[in-house]
Structure 1
Amino acid sequence: MKCNVAYCCIILLLACSSNNKAIKVKGSDTEVNLVVRLAESFYLVNKEFSVAISGGGSGLGIASLLNGQADIANSSRPLNTDEIRMFKDRGIRLRTVVFAEDATAFIVQKNFPLDSIDVGALGKILSGEYKSWKPITGQDIRINIYGRQSNSGTHSFVRKKLKIRFSTDAKEMNGNAQIMEGVKMDISGIGYVGAGYILKDGTGQPVKVLRISAKIGRPAISPLDQQSIMQGRYYFQRPLYQFIPETSWDKVAAFVAFEKSGKGRKIIQDSGYYITH
């Protein structure tokens, strides 16, 4: 995928579907592959529907609701104060669905000499306070950061959890795939992606997932450790949201019900995401 591609777009179409059965979903890159899998299975038993799904970031999905261009906004973060005000000003009432939980994974090249890191050191790396790996690994090589654009919910989530501003040297990538490719080829690179994206193809990914400790001396926990996630012990875990205008609710209710059904929950879990509620 080239860097100038604004977002990935995956569309499931049924030519004979009417407008009240045509669902448009936009937003979070973290959620896009999962929602495609859910939509594919939903379509098998609801062939009168069509579901068009695109990524591009949580901010794009939320903006699409404000502009009347989507029925569901996938978001890996809650609405911010400005967004709440804009929906109120435009008289758009929303329903909020939390359908899964995700853990953000921090990745380095597979042979990188680091297995775990504490939150404090991670913040110094991503903020640019540490320019070199020397304080962490003893290697005096420049740190390359692979991150997301500011409209990404994952970008916002990591920034808030670490209480930092991202380094101006950080590379802004369009999604998980670009970050994975960048880090895979860069011995000095570090990036962050959804743990579900790591897990979806099994455990043979050509990157190393760092274990994270909340503080020096605390246990370091992997975002791939399901038991720790279920116990709420991983520092970078979060709910995944879907925001739905009241005017679209009747149209999307069957799809939301499928997500929450036994079959939908199994797809969520098999895709490397979690259900903790």
Structure 2
Amino acid sequence: MTASQDLRTLRRAAFLALPLLAIAALAAVYLLDDGRDAAQDSGSLQILGSETMRPLVTACAEAFMARNPQADIVVRGGGSGDGVAALLNGMIDIGMTSRPLSDKERDFAATRGIDLAISDLAIDGIAVIVNGANPLSALSLDRLKAVFTGEVANWRDLGGADRPVLVFGRAAGSGTATLFTDRVLGGAAETPGAQKLATNEAIVTEVAARPDAIGYTSLGAVRNAGNRIRLVALGAAGSAAVAPTPETLRNGAYPLGRMLFFGVAGAVSSTARAFIDSCAGQAGQALIQRAGYVPLQAGSR
């Protein structure tokens, strides 16, 4: 076994063994080596980041490995912030992020001379959901903000029963939480009573089980929820509320639409390039559609 193979084997084992919460901390002190890093090991990929993207990219990775048995792709979640940090510090081959890069991240790459490239993978929307038994069907963004900051804390203020609103949000480090805070809360703090969950799927599970709950999640995470939850249409004050659909996400009418991104840094291995290209191709975009997200090309099957 060559030194490069030894390095790849050790890094793969360490990557699988690391608790997700430790990855961001390690990224801050991780040193780039002399070039024989994971990003240049043909046939092996380590991908980390957005929990929103984890199920989707896992499906793409399984399809890619079925077509390319020599490939070895490991996909882990943890949050967009962790994925970008690990990418910028040379710990992974591909980072997954459900939000644009922050100025701080771009500045870090620039000061370190890191050639950072971001590519679109799919279109998604942050869906606001209530329990399936809740008749609420639409909210203005102002009223939604009032709910999540605690200004509105009882369903009677939204035309419902005299019961407290149970608020569910994503944990810190989530790209979904970052975009929701920016676009809905305007930087205001969520109500202290909000329960913070690690994954979009957990938000769906809790809201589906609790008649008085409201939460936000990735549109892709609701695809199998059926009538256990209800999507809430959103709009600016005085404007018609819009539901998240492929059409409204493509044309920008839905106010919480977003792109999902792959990120790479520095030299990209042929395996990483082939994988990214396969996700953007017809077969990959068909997987994206089946997973509940909106493919980049309209009409993908």
Q: TM-score range by the shorter chain?
A: 0.7 to 0.9
What is the letter of the counterpart of residue 241 of structure 2? A
What is the letter of the counterpart of residue 240 of structure 2? P
Structure in which a larger fraction of residues adopt helix:
2
Residues 1:38 and 1:51: Cα distance change in structure 2 (over 3 Å) = same
Identity %: 28
Q: Offset at 1:140? A: 2.7
Partner residue of 2:79? Answer: 57
Partner residue of 2:54? Answer: 32
SS in 2 for 1:131: coil
- The whole-number CA distance in structure 2 between the counterparts of 1:254 and 1:21 is 10
Q: Which one of the candidate residues 128, 138, 143 is aligned to 1:106?
A: 128
Q: Does structure 1 retain, via aligned residues, the 8 Å contact 2:41–2:269?
A: no
**Deviation sequence 1:62-91 (CA, Å, 0-9, x none):** 111133221111001111111112222333
Q: Which has the larger radius of gyration?
A: 2
Q: Offset at 1:156? A: 0.5
Partner residue of 2:181? Answer: 159
What is the letter of the counterpart of residue 222 of structure 2? I
What is the letter of the counterpart of residue 52 of structure 1? V
- The whole-number CA distance in structure 1 between the counterparts of 2:115 and 2:193 is 39
Q: Offset at 1:149? A: 1.4
- The whole-number CA distance in structure 2 between the counterparts of 1:187 and 1:249 is 49
- The whole-number CA distance in structure 1 between the counterparts of 2:41 and 2:165 is 50
Unaligned segments of structure 1, at least 5 residues: 8-17
Q: Does structure 2 retain, via aligned residues, the 8 Å contact 1:119–1:213?
A: yes
Unaligned segments of structure 2, at least 5 residues: 1-18, 22-39
Partner residue of 2:215? Answer: 191
Task: Tell me how many residue pairs correspond in the alignment.
Answer: 259
Q: Which one of the candidate residues 72, 75, 80 is aligned to 2:102?
A: 80
Q: Offset at 1:246? A: 1.9
1:245 paired to 2:265: yes
TM-score, normalisation: structure 1? 0.87
Matches within 5 A, 1:1-277: 19-162=41-184, 163=186, 164-199=188-223, 201=224, 204-216=226-238, 218-223=239-244, 225-276=245-296
Residues 1:248 and 1:28: Cα distance change in structure 2 (over 3 Å) = same
Residues 1:257 and 1:82: Cα distance change in structure 2 (over 3 Å) = same
- The whole-number CA distance in structure 2 between the counterparts of 1:240 and 1:249 is 21
What is the letter of the counterpart of residue 185 of structure 1? A
SS in 2 for 1:30: coil
* Root-mean-square deviation over aligned CA pairs: 1.9
